[in-house]
């Protein structure tokens, strides 16, 4: 190989090597290899006097060009390598990393769906504490002292001194109804509120029970509010939630804090009430409790029961979400398995 070929080959080798260099140390090694005292380029230039005269000029010219080329490449590379050593090298041509986007929990989605049935009818959203006074969870709601849910094993009592002993012990609220009391203590009628929130009951976990679940409570109080208003509001809401053809049924029931009281059922969408395999031959599915606010509840908050009327209702969010999504196990909501949660869009 003659000297000119050797210079060409050196240029090719150096270009490839500089292209891959990533650290200042590597760059220094390349400097020594291509420009150092023992480099092939130095040897070629040093051996110029021994070359035949007709080659000398050309080899000298090419050799010096290569030297300049190597020195400028080295200087340029020094800057990029220095910058690269401060921040990790980024290859802008690679596809980006997908950022995992979260979504609302199905229970939150259903809560929002329920609430947005009520807000167009003038209901405001309020919330109350999950740790509640015994007086609000029970007494003010006309729940008698000997009611089983006031027993230690039928309610989660909180083992802390009550900040207001006159309102009794602290409990994890067993329903959202105490927020009715809190609202009426602070506001005068007319009022319309819906109250989403967590409630707690010492139920063992099974496909339809959980020690924690969610309710949406509702309360409307005005000078004249009738059971017809209650029916009208709830029928409309259930049609919005489950479809315009939904059939509803009001079944007499008992709650201490409402009189009269009812449970509301919707007809199974598959058989419309006659019973089929989808509804386990039941025909109707229980959706919520409701009734006209009991006079004793009005008295407890300082309202005159002869001057105002109201209705209240409370529904289980999990129940409704399970019907909407055709789920059969409440525990799925709380296991936080992404394979389950990712199936709920938005």
Give me the residues that bind ligand PHE (CB under 6 A), please.
Answer: 175, 177, 217, 255, 258, 289-291, 312-314
Q: Taking the complex as a whole, how short is the minimal distance between the CB of residue 199 and ligand PHE, in angstroms?
A: 7
Q: Which long-range contacts (CB under 8 A, 24 or more apart) does 10-13 make?
A: 10/34, 10/40, 10/41, 10/66, 11/66, 11/69
Closest CA to 317 of 210, 244, 233, 161: 210
Terminal-to-terminal C-alpha distance of the chain: 70
Q: Which long-range contacts (CB under 8 A, 24 or more apart) does 92-99 make?
A: none
Cβ closest to ligand PHE, residue 30 vs residue 318? 318
Measured N-to-C along each axis, helices 24-35 and 3-20 cross at an angle, to the nearest 10 degrees, of 180
Q: Which residues of 241-263 are buried (b: 16+ CB within 10 A; e: fewer)?
A: bbeeebbbbbeeeebbbbeebbb
Q: Taking the complex as a whole, how short is the minimal distance between the CB of residue 163 and ligand PHE, in angstroms?
A: 24
Cβ closest to ligand PHE, residue 111 vs residue 258? 258
Q: Taking the complex as a whole, how short is the minimal distance between the CB of residue 314 and ligand PHE, in angstroms?
A: 3
CA distance 177 to 73: 78
Cβ closest to ligand PHE, residue 66 vs residue 315? 315
Cβ closest to ligand PHE, residue 155 vs residue 258? 258
Cβ closest to ligand PHE, residue 34 vs residue 313? 313
Q: Taking the complex as a whole, how short is the minimal distance between the CB of residue 124 and ligand PHE, in angstroms?
A: 17
Q: Taking the complex as a whole, how short is the minimal distance between the CB of residue 104 and ligand PHE, in angstroms?
A: 24
Q: Which residue is nearest to ligand PHE (CB)?
A: 314
CA distance 210 to 331: 7
Q: Taking the complex as a whole, how short is the minimal distance between the CB of residue 193 and ligand PHE, in angstroms?
A: 12
Closest CA to 256 of 195, 316, 181: 181
Tokens coding 188: 């005068």
Helix (H), strand (E), coil (C) string for 92-108: CCCCCCCCCCCCCCHHH
Cβ closest to ligand PHE, residue 106 vs residue 310? 310
* Strands 212-222 vs 309-316: parallel, antiparallel or unpaired: antiparallel
CB 319 within 8 A of CB 327: no
Q: Taking the complex as a whole, how short is the minimal distance between the CB of residue 255 and ligand PHE, in angstroms?
A: 4
Q: Taking the complex as a whole, how short is the minimal distance between the CB of residue 224 and ligand PHE, in angstroms?
A: 19
Tokens coding 135: 């007086």
Cβ closest to ligand PHE, residue 14 vs residue 290? 290
Q: Taking the complex as a whole, how short is the minimal distance between the CB of residue 227 and ligand PHE, in angstroms?
A: 13
Cβ closest to ligand PHE, residue 41 vs residue 143? 143
Cβ closest to ligand PHE, residue 283 vs residue 289? 289
CA distance 321 to 89: 48
CB 137 within 8 A of CB 156: no
């Amino acid at each position: 190989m003659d000297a000119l070929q050797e210079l060409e080959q050196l240029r090719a080798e150096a270009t490839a090597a500089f292209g891959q260099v990533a650290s200042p140390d590597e760059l220094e090694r390349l400097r020594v290899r291509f420009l150092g005292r023992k480099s092939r380029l130095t040897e070629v230039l040093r051996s110029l006097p021994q070359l035949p005269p007709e080659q000398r000029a050309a080899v000298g010219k090419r050799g010096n060009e290569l030297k300049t080329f190597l020195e400028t490449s080295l200087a340029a590379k020094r800057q990029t390598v220095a910058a690269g050593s401060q921040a990790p090298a980024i290859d802008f041509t690679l596809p980006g990393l997908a950022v995992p986007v979260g979504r609302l929990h199905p229970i939150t989605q259903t809560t929002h769906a329920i609430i947005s049935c009520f807000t167009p009818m003038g209901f405001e959203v309020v919330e109350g504490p999950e740790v509640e006074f015994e007086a609000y969870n029970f007494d003010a709601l006309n729940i008698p002292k000997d009611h089983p849910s006031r027993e230690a094993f039928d309610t989660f009592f909180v083992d802390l001194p009550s900040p207001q002993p006159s309102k009794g012990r602290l409990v994890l609220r067993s329903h959202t109804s105490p927020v009715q009391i809190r609202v009426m203590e602070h506001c005068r009628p007319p009022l319309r509120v819906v109250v989403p929130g967590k409630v707690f009951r010492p139920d063992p976990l099974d496909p339809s029970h959980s020690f924690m679940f969610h309710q949406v409570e509702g309360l409307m109080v005005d000078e004249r509010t009738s059971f017809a208003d209650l029916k009208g509001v709830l029928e409309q809401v259930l049609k919005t939630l489950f479809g315009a053809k939904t059939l509803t049924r009001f079944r007499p029931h008992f709650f201490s804090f409402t009189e009269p009281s009812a449970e509301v059922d919707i007809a199974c969408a598959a058989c419309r009430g006659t019973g089929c395999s989808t509804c386990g031959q039941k025909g109707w599915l229980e959706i919520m409790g409701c009734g006209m606010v009991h006079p004793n509840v009005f008295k407890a908050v300082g309202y005159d029961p002869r001057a105002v009327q109201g209705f209240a209702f409370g529904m289980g969010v999990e129940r409704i979400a399970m019907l909407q999504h055709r789920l059969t196990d409440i525990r799925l909501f709380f296991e936080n398995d992404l394979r389950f949660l990712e199936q709920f869009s938005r």
